[in-house]
Structure 1
Amino acid sequence: MMTPLLVGIDVGTTSVKATLFDDSGAALRTFADPYPMKRPAPGLAEQDPADWTSRVSAALAHLSDGLTNGAIAAVGLTSQVNTHVFVDMDGAPLMPAITWQDGRAGAEAAELDALISAEERIGWWGAPLPIDASHPLARALWLKRHHPDLWARTRWLMAPKDYCILQLTGEATADPMAAFGVIDQSLTYVSRLLDLVPGIADRLPPLRGFTQTAGRIRPGLPLAGIPMVTGAMDAWAGLIGTGVLRDGECMYLSGTSEIIGLVSSARHPAAGVIAFPTCEGITMHAGPTQAGGASLAWLSNLTGRPPSELSVLVANSNPHRPTPLFLPHLQGERAPIWDIGARGAFIGLDGSMGPAELTRAVFEGVASSVRWLLEALEASAGQAATSFSMAGGGAASDPWCQIRADMLGRPIRRLKTLDAGVLGAAILAGVGAGRFSSIDEAADRLVVTDRVFEPDPSRRERMDFLYGEYRELYSALKPFNAARAAFTAW
């Protein structure tokens, strides 16, 4: 008799990805389907929520095709966060989803940020985090001011994962980590914070634990009647899908952005990073950059070469040849500097440089952004990272993984399942369905190592130099970027 199977789904920034797993972590079937990011004006970045739900339904149909009733035990979902969709009483979106890359609510964010003390931030979030343009309060205030008619019709303000669960089960729910920024260390909504935008408290979904059943899939849909767990936001699903659950262990997810998460029960509030509330016995110090894989995708479009071809060019090039210095701030930067006005740059170009050198510079620049973030995380956690477990699409490139190991000066363990969020969602589904007694047990069973990249000592001096220059270049360009923004606003 076949052991019941598990489905994990990730509603990401660029696509829906899904996998059917058995209880040893083997991927039996996979699904992936991209969708566009729409940029109707500078600073705006939107998606159509129908693009998510149509692909989630297609994934469920594909993964379950031909299986007998009862073959699948449960479904877990994860998604991008700081992407928001405003939903009416009937569950219909009132406008395109505002994604995490969108900066339209910058003015509202600055206004709200000025109303919160440093002491309140530390008390609520464990770190002096700012309210930025991607914060749900800033988005809500923006809608309330600019489209009061839509605000009046809003029933729910939801993350993509929770919107998809609503469409599939009819139930409104959210996990506490997807709601981070409006909850405190007790994993409950902060009334003092919500009072800053009257009406938002009634529009936020009720909170449930990662492995709690959110509802069952509605009749007429693929896998009707199968339970769906609440699941977790992408960073936490990735943490679980990389098996990073113990103090000192560090998750490295390389997707559109680079997301780093260090587990440590100690807290030493540090600017620019998130010290999440303890959840499921885990305290994660984490932060996202803005453009990891997005930087390679940009260069791919610029050169007309696919990312895989660019990676091969780097693998076949001389690693000691000079390269330009690259800042991956193509649409601002997030952790640890949270500077929406930062902009990308290539510095030090000469006529001998071609696609291989530019690609290596992108790899090194993104790795430098992660080193800066890691320093902040280790300060917040009060300890150094003792191990790195890496997944995500950007981990598929061997030369990029090696450059990351060289830049961080630490071994990096690449995992067999690169879609860690998908695996994490399936792990949570398995625990919720009673297939495993705990998240730890499930992760120990399902997370498998592919390869370990050791840092090359001969490149230590080069990496230290590049990182120092990276920091200096960002500081030097900051006033230029501010002046440029003021000029283009005329």
Structure 2
Amino acid sequence: MRPSDRDTGEAYILSLDLGTSGCKVGLVSLTGAVVAWAFRPVPLVVVDQVGAEQKPDDWWRAFVSAAREVLGHGAVPVSRIRAVCASTQGEGTIPVDRDGVPLTNAVLWMDMRGAPALARQFGGRFSVSGYDPFRLQRWIRLCGGAPALSGKDPAGHMLFIRDHRPEVYARTYKFLNVLDFINLRLTGRFAATQDSILTSWVTDNRSPDAIRYHDGLIAGSGIARDKFPDLVRCTDVIGRLRPAVAEEIGLPPETAVVAGAIDNTAAAIGAGTLADYDAHLYVGSSSWIGAHVPFKKTSILDQISSVPCALPARYMMMALQTSGANNVAFLKDRIIFHDDGLIASEPAPDVYEVLDRIVARTPPGSDGAMYLPWLFGERCPVDDRSLRACLFNLSMEHTRETVARAVFEGTALNTRWMMKPVRRFLGRPTEHLTILGGGALSEAWCQIFADTLGLPIRRLHEPLKANAVGAAVIGGVGLGLTDFPEAARHIRIDRVFEPNPDLRRLYDDRFALFTDLHRRLGPLYRRLNGAEKPERTRRHHA
């Protein structure tokens, strides 16, 4: 390859989008065109109903296989691929040794086993919303948030490993988030971005462009200072591809690696929602509402805060719903096509398309059936690890069609539950939401969101690829090949779903029932699921 080859023609980024369901790899131009694409699934390991894990080696194999397929298409000359940049699921924890070898499975963002250890570490004689008031005040002042009482973030994960797996803790050189681990495998560098480190709750985030560790927060975290990686910005070039990796996937070893971002940061950029208060709705395995804002703020009661992101001088407001499209995946994999020997059947390749058609033709309201989408507890607007999913008010008249519609509607009703505190946090009405993620491929679901929320829903062009596009933009900005405003100008909206005014009364009534069910069932969930349970070795694969 001649040196001048890298200076001519349109530049491309090899984008990695690692979610809970699997790894997507795209070859993406700086104008957001995805010219090659591949996906590899990654299995999930569920431990005793409250733990969730994946194998880091499964992530890597999925990436390598998908990257080889993408590069094998020969869609563009390799000389035009300027960098590799990743977007990954957040709030995962991988303890690694000095050689970067994982010491356990990755503990994922759904995992709640750290809640008791977190309560012991941070509890006190008095509490405010479950927090020691002095610790809470410092977390909010410095970080803009606080550890999830459910144990679903690295603060709880690391304490769980420290207390329940002391031999692993002793051997741990660094605790890494998912993005950090992928970047380590790509470059050999131990580093965390300003957004991947966030939910360890040990950084001073008061200046969005100067995120740094805070000695007092680290001292109080219960985790040794030297087990945290160095900090970098999302747009920093953190190294070059390791020669063995470059050879494995088929890129030159001088290919740059840009730090990238966790999924909510990349999604906002891939959606083109860069303007202040312009909100997006991501519907993937989890679901969230996010928007860039010019201020650091926290609503501890609603579990909403504005946190560090990739944009200069900006924060990202985040309201997270634990279970989004994984409710539909649960319906498909555990109910319709569950391999229990009762019926020999396999999912058709277009099963989600079929579900979309079924839901579209089923009358709104699901004939009175209701679904509560709390498969793994909830984060916003209540942080309650005891909540579980529920089908309510089934009768002999109901069918698989009404159950499917109820699952779609219940997930949307939970999103509506977040909207009031989101509007209060933003301090202004929300005029529309830009929808992206795999769930946005369902036109029926997009319409249900519009009708349930009473808002226009703007569907992004190729919504499944938005995170990869966001990662490509971050990569291009890191290399100085583009800037965020320029990239946003190329984002396209596929369709706008307008709310049906005739359904407003129906969904107002369903929403009132939804919140009433939470109020009435909450104490029962806490009785069933609130007590600390010992970890068992029995595991289920989903």
TM-score w.r.t. structure 2 length?
0.86
**What does the per-residue CA deviation read over 1:335-383, in whole Å, with 9 as the maximum and x for residues that have no partner?**
2211000111111111111122111111111111111112222222222
For 1:488 and 1:220, how far apart are their aligned partners in 2? 45
**What does the per-residue CA deviation read over 1:456-478, in whole Å, with 9 as the maximum and x for residues that have no partner?**
11111111111111111011001
Q: Which amino acid aligns with 1:52?
A: W
**TM superposition shift of 1:247:** 1.8
CA contact under 8 A between 2:296 and 2:305: conserved in structure 1?
Answer: no
For 2:169 and 2:193, how far apart are their aligned partners in 1? 23
Q: 2:273 maps to which residue? A: 244
For 2:114 and 2:452, how far apart are their aligned partners in 1? 35
CA contact under 8 A between 1:87 and 1:156: conserved in structure 2?
Answer: yes
Q: Secondary structure at the match of 2:409?
A: helix
**TM superposition shift of 1:211:** 1.0
For 1:41 and 1:391, how far apart are their aligned partners in 2? 32
Give runs of aligned pairs for residues 178-193 of structure 1, distance below 5 A. Answer: 178-181=196-199, 182=201, 183-185=203-205, 186=207, 187-193=211-217
**What does the per-residue CA deviation read over 1:153-207, in whole Å, with 9 as the maximum and x for residues that have no partner?**
1111111121111111111111111111322323222322221244432111111
For 2:91 and 2:398, how far apart are their aligned partners in 1? 38
**Alignment partner of 2:168 out of 150, 157, 170:** 150
Q: 2:467 maps to which residue? A: 421
Q: 2:537 maps to which residue? A: none
**TM superposition shift of 1:432:** 1.3
Give runs of aligned pairs for residues 268-279 of structure 1, distance below 5 A. Answer: 269-270=298-299, 271=301, 272-277=303-308, 279=311
Q: Quick check: 1:165 aligned with 2:183?
A: yes
For 1:69 and 1:82, how far apart are their aligned partners in 2? 33
Q: 2:496 maps to which residue? A: 452
**Alignment partner of 1:430 out of 476, 498, 501:** 476
Q: Which amino acid aligns with 1:417?
A: E
For 2:532 and 2:358, how far apart are their aligned partners in 1? 37
Q: Describe the shift of the 1:428–1:383 C-alpha distance in structure 2 as closer, same or farther (beyond 3 A).
A: same
Q: Describe the shift of the 1:196–1:267 C-alpha distance in structure 2 as closer, same or farther (beyond 3 A).
A: closer
CA contact under 8 A between 2:24 and 2:37: conserved in structure 1?
Answer: yes
Q: 1:87 maps to which residue? A: 96
For 1:126 and 1:407, how far apart are their aligned partners in 2? 30
CA contact under 8 A between 2:193 and 2:234: conserved in structure 1?
Answer: yes
Give runs of aligned pairs for residues 116-155 of structure 1, distance below 5 A. Answer: 116-117=132-133, 118-127=136-145, 130-155=148-173
Stretch of structure 1 that moved more, 198-207 or 242-251:
198-207
Q: 1:299 maps to which residue? A: 331
For 2:292 and 2:474, how far apart are their aligned partners in 1? 18
For 2:509 and 2:468, how far apart are their aligned partners in 1? 37
CA contact under 8 A between 2:204 and 2:213: conserved in structure 1?
Answer: yes
Q: Quick check: 1:214 aligned with 2:238?
A: yes
**What does the per-residue CA deviation read over 1:374-419, in whole Å, with 9 as the maximum and x for residues that have no partner?**
2222222222223311110000110110010111111111111212
CA contact under 8 A between 1:333 and 1:340: conserved in structure 2?
Answer: yes
**TM superposition shift of 1:266:** 4.8
Q: 2:539 maps to which residue? A: none
Q: Secondary structure at the match of 1:356?
A: helix
Q: Describe the shift of the 1:475–1:190 C-alpha distance in structure 2 as closer, same or farther (beyond 3 A).
A: farther
Q: Which amino acid aligns with 1:484?
A: L
For 1:281 and 1:108, how far apart are their aligned partners in 2? 35
For 1:488 and 1:427, how far apart are their aligned partners in 2? 43
Q: Quick check: 1:265 aligned with 2:294?
A: yes
Stretch of structure 1 that moved more, 84-93 or 372-381:
372-381
**TM superposition shift of 1:69:** 4.1
For 2:222 and 2:361, how far apart are their aligned partners in 1? 58
Q: Quick check: 1:35 aligned with 2:53?
A: no
Q: Quick check: 1:477 aligned with 2:536?
A: no
- After superposition, the CA RMSD in angstroms is 2.0
Q: 1:73 maps to which residue? A: 82
CA contact under 8 A between 1:265 and 1:381: conserved in structure 2?
Answer: no
**TM superposition shift of 1:319:** 2.9
Q: Secondary structure at the match of 2:495?
A: strand
CA contact under 8 A between 2:93 and 2:158: conserved in structure 1?
Answer: no
Q: Secondary structure at the match of 2:13?
A: strand
Q: Where do 5+ consecutive residues of structure 2 fail to align?
A: 1-7, 125-131, 338-346, 535-542
**TM superposition shift of 1:233:** 0.9
Give runs of aligned pairs for residues 15-414 of structure 1, distance below 5 A. Answer: 15-65=22-72, 66=74, 68-114=77-123, 116-117=132-133, 118-127=136-145, 130-181=148-199, 182=201, 183-185=203-205, 186=207, 187-221=211-245, 222=249, 223=251, 224-266=253-295, 269-270=298-299, 271=301, 272-277=303-308, 279-301=311-333, 302-304=335-337, 306-319=351-364, 322-414=367-459
Q: Secondary structure at the match of 2:193?
A: coil
For 1:206 and 1:479, how far apart are their aligned partners in 2? 43
Give the percent of matched residue pairs that are identical in Structure 1 and Structure 2.
30
**TM superposition shift of 1:269:** 3.3
**What does the per-residue CA deviation read over 1:103-141, in whole Å, with 9 as the maximum and x for residues that have no partner?**
111101222342543322320233566444123222222
Q: Describe the shift of the 1:184–1:370 C-alpha distance in structure 2 as closer, same or farther (beyond 3 A).
A: farther
Q: Secondary structure at the match of 1:207?
A: strand
Number of positions where the alignment pairs a residue of Structure 1 with one of Structure 2 = 488
**TM superposition shift of 1:479:** 1.0
**What does the per-residue CA deviation read over 1:249-290, in whole Å, with 9 as the maximum and x for residues that have no partner?**
101110001111023325663221122147523222112211
For 1:20 and 1:332, how far apart are their aligned partners in 2? 36
